[in-house]
Structure 1
Amino acid sequence: MPESYRPHLRKDDEHPRTTSQSVSSNTTVSHATVQDVLDKKDGRIITIHPEQTLHDAVVLLRDNRIGALLCVDEEGKLAGILSERDIVRKLADQPGKTLPHRVEEVMTRTVETCTADEPLVVVLRLMTEGRFRHMPVVDGDALIGMITIGDVVHFRLNQLELEALQIKQLIVG
Protein backbone atom coordinates (compact mmCIF):
# COMPACT_ATOMS: atom_id res chain seq x y z
CA MET A 1 0.00 0.00 0.00
CA PRO A 2 1.23 3.50 -0.75
CA GLU A 3 1.97 5.62 2.27
CA SER A 4 -0.66 8.20 1.32
CA TYR A 5 -3.48 5.66 1.34
CA ARG A 6 -6.09 6.07 4.03
CA PRO A 7 -9.16 3.87 4.26
CA HIS A 8 -12.61 5.42 3.87
CA LEU A 9 -14.04 6.43 7.26
CA ARG A 10 -17.61 7.15 8.34
CA LYS A 11 -16.78 10.81 9.10
CA ASP A 12 -15.88 11.23 5.41
CA ASP A 13 -19.62 11.00 4.63
CA GLU A 14 -20.60 13.76 7.08
CA HIS A 15 -21.29 17.19 5.71
CA PRO A 16 -19.51 20.10 7.34
CA ARG A 17 -21.67 21.71 9.98
CA THR A 18 -22.55 25.36 9.82
CA THR A 19 -23.96 27.42 12.62
CA SER A 20 -25.49 30.83 12.43
CA GLN A 21 -24.94 31.41 16.11
CA SER A 22 -22.60 30.26 18.79
CA VAL A 23 -22.23 30.71 22.50
CA SER A 24 -19.64 33.42 21.93
CA SER A 25 -21.75 35.33 19.39
CA ASN A 26 -24.72 35.28 21.76
CA THR A 27 -22.82 36.25 24.90
CA THR A 28 -20.17 38.67 23.64
CA VAL A 29 -20.63 42.10 25.19
CA SER A 30 -20.86 44.92 22.70
CA HIS A 31 -17.70 46.94 22.32
CA ALA A 32 -19.47 50.28 22.16
CA THR A 33 -17.38 53.43 22.34
CA VAL A 34 -18.05 56.98 23.43
CA GLN A 35 -18.29 57.90 19.73
CA ASP A 36 -21.26 55.53 19.37
CA VAL A 37 -23.10 57.59 21.98
CA LEU A 38 -22.01 60.92 20.47
CA ASP A 39 -23.33 59.77 17.08
CA LYS A 40 -26.82 59.53 18.59
CA LYS A 41 -26.70 63.08 20.00
CA ASP A 42 -27.33 66.36 18.20
CA GLY A 43 -23.71 67.52 18.50
CA ARG A 44 -24.42 70.74 20.37
CA ILE A 45 -22.03 71.63 23.18
CA ILE A 46 -23.50 74.10 25.65
CA THR A 47 -20.74 76.18 27.23
CA ILE A 48 -20.32 79.11 29.57
CA HIS A 49 -17.38 81.38 30.36
CA PRO A 50 -15.95 81.41 33.90
CA GLU A 51 -16.56 85.18 34.18
CA GLN A 52 -20.31 84.81 33.67
CA THR A 53 -22.68 84.69 36.63
CA LEU A 54 -24.48 81.75 38.15
CA HIS A 55 -27.69 83.46 37.06
CA ASP A 56 -26.50 83.14 33.43
CA ALA A 57 -25.70 79.49 34.14
CA VAL A 58 -29.09 78.57 35.61
CA VAL A 59 -30.83 80.22 32.67
CA LEU A 60 -28.74 78.14 30.25
CA LEU A 61 -29.37 74.97 32.25
CA ARG A 62 -33.11 75.64 32.33
CA ASP A 63 -33.46 76.68 28.69
CA ASN A 64 -31.47 73.73 27.38
CA ARG A 65 -32.91 71.23 29.87
CA ILE A 66 -29.48 69.97 30.89
CA GLY A 67 -27.70 69.28 34.17
CA ALA A 68 -24.22 70.69 33.57
CA LEU A 69 -22.32 73.27 31.55
CA LEU A 70 -18.82 73.06 30.22
CA CYS A 71 -16.80 76.10 31.20
CA VAL A 72 -14.44 77.28 28.47
CA ASP A 73 -11.89 80.07 28.28
CA GLU A 74 -11.66 82.68 25.52
CA GLU A 75 -9.90 80.18 23.23
CA GLY A 76 -12.61 77.57 23.75
CA LYS A 77 -10.42 75.31 25.91
CA LEU A 78 -11.97 73.44 28.81
CA ALA A 79 -11.53 75.36 32.06
CA GLY A 80 -13.99 73.45 34.23
CA ILE A 81 -17.50 72.10 34.56
CA LEU A 82 -20.49 73.54 36.41
CA SER A 83 -23.21 71.13 37.46
CA GLU A 84 -26.52 71.57 39.19
CA ARG A 85 -24.88 69.95 42.21
CA ASP A 86 -22.21 72.68 42.32
CA ILE A 87 -24.92 75.36 42.31
CA VAL A 88 -26.96 73.61 45.02
CA ARG A 89 -23.87 73.45 47.26
CA LYS A 90 -23.37 77.20 46.83
CA LEU A 91 -27.07 77.80 47.53
CA ALA A 92 -26.76 75.86 50.77
CA ASP A 93 -23.68 77.89 51.80
CA GLN A 94 -25.09 81.30 50.84
CA PRO A 95 -28.87 81.18 50.51
CA GLY A 96 -30.31 84.14 48.63
CA LYS A 97 -26.89 85.44 47.59
CA THR A 98 -25.84 82.79 45.07
CA LEU A 99 -26.90 83.97 41.64
CA PRO A 100 -24.60 87.03 41.41
CA HIS A 101 -21.48 84.87 41.98
CA ARG A 102 -19.23 84.14 39.04
CA VAL A 103 -19.11 80.66 37.54
CA GLU A 104 -15.36 80.37 38.23
CA GLU A 105 -16.02 80.63 41.98
CA VAL A 106 -18.24 77.53 41.94
CA MET A 107 -17.19 75.37 38.97
CA THR A 108 -15.19 72.19 39.32
CA ARG A 109 -11.75 72.90 37.87
CA THR A 110 -10.34 69.39 37.83
CA VAL A 111 -12.44 67.68 35.19
CA GLU A 112 -12.29 64.02 34.26
CA THR A 113 -12.41 63.75 30.46
CA CYS A 114 -12.54 60.95 27.93
CA THR A 115 -11.87 60.48 24.23
CA ALA A 116 -14.31 59.37 21.56
CA ASP A 117 -12.57 56.03 21.04
CA GLU A 118 -12.70 54.96 24.69
CA PRO A 119 -14.88 51.95 25.50
CA LEU A 120 -18.21 52.98 26.95
CA VAL A 121 -17.92 50.48 29.79
CA VAL A 122 -14.67 52.13 30.98
CA VAL A 123 -16.22 55.60 30.94
CA LEU A 124 -19.33 54.38 32.74
CA ARG A 125 -17.16 52.79 35.43
CA LEU A 126 -15.21 56.07 35.89
CA MET A 127 -18.44 58.04 36.20
CA THR A 128 -19.90 55.59 38.69
CA GLU A 129 -16.77 55.37 40.84
CA GLY A 130 -16.22 59.14 40.71
CA ARG A 131 -19.90 59.80 41.47
CA PHE A 132 -20.38 62.28 38.63
CA ARG A 133 -22.91 62.21 35.81
CA HIS A 134 -21.31 64.34 33.08
CA MET A 135 -18.05 63.81 31.21
CA PRO A 136 -16.55 66.06 28.54
CA VAL A 137 -15.21 64.32 25.43
CA VAL A 138 -11.97 65.72 24.06
CA ASP A 139 -9.69 65.23 21.10
CA GLY A 140 -6.35 66.56 22.31
CA ASP A 141 -7.17 70.05 23.56
CA ALA A 142 -10.34 70.32 21.48
CA LEU A 143 -13.70 69.83 23.15
CA ILE A 144 -15.86 67.61 20.92
CA GLY A 145 -18.83 66.78 23.12
CA MET A 146 -20.17 65.66 26.45
CA ILE A 147 -21.80 62.43 27.50
CA THR A 148 -23.95 61.82 30.53
CA ILE A 149 -25.01 58.79 32.51
CA GLY A 150 -28.45 59.29 30.93
CA ASP A 151 -26.93 59.13 27.43
CA VAL A 152 -25.19 55.87 28.28
CA VAL A 153 -28.29 54.31 29.83
CA HIS A 154 -30.42 55.37 26.85
CA PHE A 155 -27.86 53.97 24.42
CA ARG A 156 -27.66 50.66 26.29
CA LEU A 157 -31.47 50.35 26.50
CA ASN A 158 -31.67 50.79 22.73
CA GLN A 159 -29.04 48.06 22.32
CA LEU A 160 -31.00 45.72 24.60
CA GLU A 161 -34.24 46.40 22.71
CA LEU A 162 -32.51 45.58 19.43
CA GLU A 163 -31.01 42.39 20.89
CA ALA A 164 -34.44 41.33 22.19
CA LEU A 165 -35.98 41.96 18.79
CA GLN A 166 -33.26 39.91 17.09
CA ILE A 167 -33.79 37.01 19.52
CA LYS A 168 -37.55 37.20 18.99
CA GLN A 169 -37.08 37.10 15.20
CA LEU A 170 -34.72 34.15 15.59
CA ILE A 171 -37.29 32.24 17.62
CA VAL A 172 -40.29 33.11 15.46
CA GLY A 173 -38.35 32.63 12.26
Structure 2
Amino acid sequence: MPASYRPHTRDDDEHEHSHSQTLATNLSASEATVDHVLETKSGDLFTIHPHETIGRAVEVLRDQRIGALLVVDAEGELVGILSERDIVRRLADTPGRTLPQTVAELMTTKLETCTPEDSLVWVLRRMTDGRFRHMPVLEDEELIGMISIGDVVNFRLIALEYEALKLKQLIVG
Protein backbone atom coordinates (compact mmCIF):
# COMPACT_ATOMS: atom_id res chain seq x y z
CA MET A 1 0.00 0.00 0.00
CA PRO A 2 1.45 3.38 -0.96
CA ALA A 3 2.41 5.65 1.92
CA SER A 4 0.12 8.39 0.57
CA TYR A 5 -2.99 6.19 0.74
CA ARG A 6 -5.54 7.14 3.37
CA PRO A 7 -8.83 5.22 3.68
CA HIS A 8 -12.15 7.01 3.46
CA THR A 9 -13.51 8.07 6.91
CA ARG A 10 -16.68 9.64 8.23
CA ASP A 11 -14.89 12.96 8.52
CA ASP A 12 -14.58 13.05 4.73
CA ASP A 13 -18.38 13.33 4.38
CA GLU A 14 -20.23 16.58 4.86
CA HIS A 15 -22.54 16.44 7.86
CA GLU A 16 -25.66 18.36 8.59
CA HIS A 17 -25.17 20.00 11.95
CA SER A 18 -27.91 19.59 14.50
CA HIS A 19 -28.68 21.51 17.63
CA SER A 20 -30.43 20.07 20.64
CA GLN A 21 -32.26 23.31 21.38
CA THR A 22 -33.39 26.11 19.15
CA LEU A 23 -36.02 28.79 19.59
CA ALA A 24 -38.12 27.08 16.97
CA THR A 25 -38.07 23.64 18.57
CA ASN A 26 -37.80 24.24 22.27
CA LEU A 27 -38.76 27.00 24.66
CA SER A 28 -36.84 27.59 27.82
CA ALA A 29 -38.96 27.66 30.94
CA SER A 30 -38.55 31.42 31.18
CA GLU A 31 -39.84 31.98 27.63
CA ALA A 32 -42.95 29.77 27.79
CA THR A 33 -46.23 31.66 28.04
CA VAL A 34 -49.82 30.95 29.01
CA ASP A 35 -50.66 30.90 25.30
CA HIS A 36 -48.28 27.98 24.75
CA VAL A 37 -50.21 25.97 27.34
CA LEU A 38 -53.60 27.01 25.96
CA GLU A 39 -52.52 25.71 22.54
CA THR A 40 -52.19 22.22 24.05
CA LYS A 41 -55.65 22.26 25.66
CA SER A 42 -59.06 21.49 24.13
CA GLY A 43 -60.34 25.03 24.62
CA ASP A 44 -63.46 23.87 26.45
CA LEU A 45 -64.61 26.28 29.15
CA PHE A 46 -66.76 24.88 31.92
CA THR A 47 -68.95 27.49 33.52
CA ILE A 48 -71.77 27.72 36.00
CA HIS A 49 -74.16 30.51 37.01
CA PRO A 50 -74.18 32.05 40.50
CA HIS A 51 -77.78 31.01 41.21
CA GLU A 52 -77.10 27.31 40.59
CA THR A 53 -76.60 24.95 43.52
CA ILE A 54 -73.39 23.50 44.87
CA GLY A 55 -74.96 20.10 44.19
CA ARG A 56 -75.08 20.96 40.47
CA ALA A 57 -71.51 22.30 40.60
CA VAL A 58 -70.26 19.06 42.18
CA GLU A 59 -71.92 17.07 39.38
CA VAL A 60 -70.20 19.17 36.69
CA LEU A 61 -66.83 18.93 38.45
CA ARG A 62 -67.22 15.15 38.69
CA ASP A 63 -68.52 14.60 35.15
CA GLN A 64 -65.91 16.83 33.51
CA ARG A 65 -63.10 15.61 35.80
CA ILE A 66 -61.99 19.15 36.59
CA GLY A 67 -61.07 21.00 39.77
CA ALA A 68 -62.76 24.36 39.30
CA LEU A 69 -65.61 26.07 37.49
CA LEU A 70 -65.72 29.57 36.09
CA VAL A 71 -68.76 31.45 37.35
CA VAL A 72 -70.44 33.67 34.75
CA ASP A 73 -73.49 35.89 34.90
CA ALA A 74 -76.42 35.85 32.46
CA GLU A 75 -74.41 37.93 29.96
CA GLY A 76 -71.48 35.51 30.12
CA GLU A 77 -69.26 37.90 32.10
CA LEU A 78 -66.82 36.31 34.53
CA VAL A 79 -67.93 37.03 38.11
CA GLY A 80 -66.09 34.38 40.10
CA ILE A 81 -64.52 30.97 40.37
CA LEU A 82 -65.60 27.94 42.37
CA SER A 83 -63.02 25.29 43.23
CA GLU A 84 -63.15 21.90 44.89
CA ARG A 85 -61.27 23.48 47.77
CA ASP A 86 -64.04 26.08 48.25
CA ILE A 87 -66.60 23.28 48.44
CA VAL A 88 -64.58 21.13 50.83
CA ARG A 89 -64.13 24.06 53.23
CA ARG A 90 -67.88 24.73 53.22
CA LEU A 91 -68.63 21.02 53.72
CA ALA A 92 -66.57 21.17 56.91
CA ASP A 93 -68.41 24.30 58.07
CA THR A 94 -71.96 23.20 57.17
CA PRO A 95 -72.04 19.39 57.09
CA GLY A 96 -75.16 18.02 55.47
CA ARG A 97 -76.32 21.48 54.37
CA THR A 98 -73.79 22.42 51.67
CA LEU A 99 -75.21 20.97 48.44
CA PRO A 100 -78.41 23.09 48.41
CA GLN A 101 -76.42 26.33 48.86
CA THR A 102 -75.83 28.51 45.80
CA VAL A 103 -72.61 28.96 43.91
CA ALA A 104 -72.80 32.68 44.74
CA GLU A 105 -72.50 31.86 48.45
CA LEU A 106 -69.21 29.95 48.02
CA MET A 107 -67.48 31.32 44.94
CA THR A 108 -64.34 33.42 45.08
CA THR A 109 -65.04 36.87 43.67
CA LYS A 110 -61.59 38.42 44.12
CA LEU A 111 -60.13 36.89 41.00
CA GLU A 112 -56.52 36.49 40.04
CA THR A 113 -56.35 36.43 36.24
CA CYS A 114 -53.67 36.28 33.59
CA THR A 115 -53.30 36.97 29.87
CA PRO A 116 -52.02 34.71 27.08
CA GLU A 117 -48.76 36.71 26.97
CA ASP A 118 -47.92 36.16 30.66
CA SER A 119 -44.96 33.90 31.35
CA LEU A 120 -45.57 30.53 32.93
CA VAL A 121 -42.92 31.26 35.55
CA TRP A 122 -44.85 34.38 36.62
CA VAL A 123 -48.19 32.52 36.66
CA LEU A 124 -46.73 29.68 38.73
CA ARG A 125 -45.29 32.15 41.20
CA ARG A 126 -48.69 33.87 41.60
CA MET A 127 -50.44 30.53 42.07
CA THR A 128 -47.89 29.34 44.60
CA ASP A 129 -47.84 32.60 46.56
CA GLY A 130 -51.65 32.87 46.52
CA ARG A 131 -52.14 29.16 47.30
CA PHE A 132 -54.59 28.55 44.45
CA ARG A 133 -54.48 26.14 41.52
CA HIS A 134 -56.66 27.66 38.79
CA MET A 135 -56.47 30.99 36.98
CA PRO A 136 -58.85 32.40 34.37
CA VAL A 137 -57.20 33.71 31.20
CA LEU A 138 -58.48 37.02 29.84
CA GLU A 139 -57.66 38.69 26.54
CA ASP A 140 -58.93 42.25 26.13
CA GLU A 141 -61.12 41.70 29.22
CA GLU A 142 -62.78 38.68 27.54
CA LEU A 143 -62.62 35.20 29.07
CA ILE A 144 -60.72 32.88 26.72
CA GLY A 145 -59.63 30.02 28.95
CA MET A 146 -58.46 28.73 32.27
CA ILE A 147 -55.05 27.44 33.22
CA SER A 148 -54.33 25.13 36.13
CA ILE A 149 -51.15 24.35 37.95
CA GLY A 150 -51.50 20.83 36.53
CA ASP A 151 -51.56 22.23 32.98
CA VAL A 152 -48.34 24.13 33.64
CA VAL A 153 -46.59 21.15 35.23
CA ASN A 154 -47.68 18.86 32.37
CA PHE A 155 -46.48 21.39 29.77
CA ARG A 156 -43.08 21.61 31.47
CA LEU A 157 -42.77 17.82 31.78
CA ILE A 158 -43.40 17.41 28.07
CA ALA A 159 -40.79 20.09 27.35
CA LEU A 160 -38.26 18.30 29.59
CA GLU A 161 -38.96 14.97 27.87
CA TYR A 162 -38.39 16.67 24.52
CA GLU A 163 -35.11 18.19 25.74
CA ALA A 164 -33.95 14.78 26.98
CA LEU A 165 -34.82 13.17 23.64
CA LYS A 166 -32.95 15.83 21.69
CA LEU A 167 -29.89 15.45 23.94
CA LYS A 168 -30.00 11.69 23.48
CA GLN A 169 -30.19 12.13 19.71
CA LEU A 170 -27.25 14.49 19.84
CA ILE A 171 -25.16 12.00 21.80
CA VAL A 172 -26.14 8.92 19.78
CA GLY A 173 -25.92 10.72 16.49
Question: Do both share a fold (TM > 0.5)?
Answer: yes
**Structure 1 residues 29 and 93, CA gap change in structure 2 (3 angstroms):** closer
Identical aligned residues as a percent: 64
**Structure 1 residues 59 and 162, CA gap change in structure 2 (3 angstroms):** same
Distance 1:163 1:62 in 2: 35
- SS for the counterpart of 1:92 is helix
Displacement of 1:20 after TM fit?
A: 6.2
Distance 2:96 2:135 in 1: 29
Maintained 8 Å contact 1:77/1:141: no
CA deviation vs aligned residue, 1:13-57 (integer Å, no higher than 9, x gap): xxxxxx9669xx99x645111010000000000000001000110
- SS for the counterpart of 1:97 is coil
Larger radius of gyration: 1
Which residue in 2 is equivalent to 1:102?
A: 102
Gaps in structure 2 of 5+ consecutive residues: 1-16
Maintained 8 Å contact 1:81/1:108: yes
Runs of 4+ displaced beyond 4 Å? 19-22
**What is the RMSD computed on CA atoms of the aligned residues?**
2.3
Which residue in 2 is equivalent to 1:59?
A: 59
Maintained 8 Å contact 1:113/1:135: yes
Which residue in 2 is equivalent to 1:150?
A: 150
Which residue in 2 is equivalent to 1:35?
A: 35
Amino acid at match of 2:60: L
Amino acid at match of 1:163: E
Which residue in 2 is equivalent to 1:115?
A: 115
Displacement of 1:156 after TM fit?
A: 0.2
- TM score, norm. by length of structure 1: 0.84
**Structure 1 residues 163 and 30, CA gap change in structure 2 (3 angstroms):** farther
- TM score, norm. by length of structure 2: 0.84
Gaps in structure 1 of 5+ consecutive residues: 1-18
**Structure 1 residues 62 and 139, CA gap change in structure 2 (3 angstroms):** same
**Structure 1 residues 29 and 83, CA gap change in structure 2 (3 angstroms):** closer
CA deviation vs aligned residue, 1:44-78 (integer Å, no higher than 9, x gap): 00000001000110000000000100000111111
- Aligned residue-pair number: 155
Maintained 8 Å contact 1:50/1:103: yes
**Structure 1 residues 29 and 52, CA gap change in structure 2 (3 angstroms):** closer
Which residue in 2 is equivalent to 1:124?
A: 124
Amino acid at match of 2:85: R
Distance 2:167 2:154 in 1: 20
Distance 2:42 2:125 in 1: 24
